[in-house]
Copies of this chain bind each other. A is one copy, B any other.
């Protein structure tokens, strides 16, 4: 099922009229931070419905089975029934966990996503992937369960910290690099300026639409959808090695993309100068100081790569680039990742 995505500043106030809501009660899953900034607005938007609020911590470290269980317990304690629905109100962690709770309660109730970060607007809340992390890897436990509707209202981004905004912009660049070369060319050389000026409304909308189109053609990620994992194979491994708190998702993906580009150069499918320019912008945008704690020999990175759920044991497909906007899914060995990462660190580290 393809959900309705509504874009527009001021959309939050009109939430109830934008979607055909089920007849039951809304369970609002959100974090104390988001509710502190925008709680009054969403409560008002849902009035006169009684909103049942379930609070969760909105950090990658708490995207766990325990957090999921706490949500399930609260919803069941409130006697959730089939006509009730969940609204996730927060970043990607909230939509991933709340969406999985919706998938599992009574074998699936409906849900709506109101993303409050660029990352969630452009990527996480789109496409129906829900999940929690396991100590041994990211998103290892989850389900495909599309929201009925997604509201993207950039007004809520006013309170988003700079590092989070940048993280989302990296994910938008990723989408452009694999699916819209023209958009990638227009962004190149301007990422810093876009982040400082916070001018990403159109880019966010375009990235969300691209993802939606790809996902609607390949909802279960058996083919084309894999290209959206560009930068994520190594990115997830770096996040896992740092126990999910040294790097933001966008920072890890930026390093992952720079490394995938380096492999593309080694494979002679992508021009070296171009790859270095793109890699340099990504790394500088994410912050070169983020490279400091990374050791290519770290066995945790190797283990996480070997266990990445996108991969088979015997072969490890990864997304490389044959050109800007032209992805290629090919096998990459663990040693190739290690060497390319060492090269990226040597080239770009402070």
Interface residues in chain A, defined as those with a beta carbon under 8 Å from any beta carbon in chain B: 24, 65, 69, 72-73, 76-77, 79, 81-83, 103-108, 129, 131, 134, 136-137, 139-144, 220, 306-307, 309-313
Contacts and interface: CB of A to CB of B under 8 A. Distances in A.
B107 A72 contact: no
Classify the secondary structure of A's interface with B.
mixed
Contacts of A69: 65
A141 B313 contact: no
B143 A309 contact: no
Contacts of A306: 79
B76 A143 contact: no
Contact of A77 (B65, B104, B136, B142): B136
Contact of A81 (B103, B129, B309): B309
A129 B107 CA distance: 8
A312 B83 contact: yes
Nearest to A145: B143
Nearest to A140: B76
A105 B141 contact: yes
B143 A79 contact: no
Contact of A137 (B76, B108, B129, B144): B76
